[in-house]
Structures are given as structure tokens and as C-alpha cells.
A = this chain, B = another copy of it.
Amino acid sequence: MATVRLLSDSEAEAIPAVKAVFDDIRATRKSDFVNNFWRGLANDPVTLKRTWESLKQVMTGETALPPVVQEMIYIAVSTANGCSYCIHSHTAAAKAKGMTEAEHAELLAVIGLAAQTNHLVTAMQLPVDPAFLVES
């Protein structure tokens, strides 16, 4: 049903460059589960490795933002971009990292409000207030 094949564990094992990434995903996440995103990307070991290393760099280890906040930002972008798979996977991740029901509800409220004011602003074609353009 996808436009690419999803590699099984045995197929992934057979390609050293894929196996190396899958092993690192499992070690980093301390879980045996490798989700479909990586199984689809595995058709292209170079993109698989680059994407995983980018995610690992930004989303793990020492981060400026709490991991649960990163996941909420991820949900916000995925919602505006309409990526169903991403909304499911990052909502699951946010919950696993401690997002409470109240935080989830507020996240949705903020996303909804932002979308509303984005569209109102765009339809009105408002000029940016000079106060917002101060050199940072």
C-alpha cells in the first residue's frame, strides 16, 4: 500500500548499512521496535542514515528544549502539513515522554487558534508592525 517496500528485519539484516542504522535506533531508543518510517527509508541506505543521524542529533542527548516540548512542536508542524502517520507517531511519542491530557488538550487548542489567526491574517494581507521588525 506504500509507494516503496517496507523492509522486514531479515531484509534489513542483510544490508550492512541498513543493519547499522537499525542497530543504532534500537540501542538509542532502548527498544526493539523499529517503526515503518525507517523500514521505508531503508530502500535508500544513504537517506536512511542521514535522516536518522539528523533526528538523533536534534532530538536526543542534551537538548535546549525538553523532549516532550520537541514532540509537541513536531505534532504542530505535522498537523499543519497534514501528515497522518506523523501525527500518530509523534502523539504516541509525546505521551510516552510525559505529555499529560491537559497539555495535549492545550496543544490542540493552540494549534487550532494559530491556524485560525494565520488564515485571518493572510486573508487581510496585514503589513507587519514595525515593532516586530526590531533587529534581533
Contact = CB atoms under 8 A, between A and B. Distances in A.
Interface residues of A, number: 85
Interface in A43-78: 43-44, 46-47, 50-51, 54-55, 57-59, 63-65, 69-70, 72-78
Contacts of A134: 92
A20 interface: no
What's the number of copies of this chain in the assembled complex?
6
B91 A3 contact: yes
B129 A119 contact: no
Contact of A73 (B33, B76, B85, B126): B76
A107 B54 contact: no
Contact of A33 (B64, B74, B131): B131
Given A33-B131, A65-B103, A78-B118, A73 B110 contact: yes
Contacts of A80: 76-77, 80-81, 119
B133 A88 contact: yes
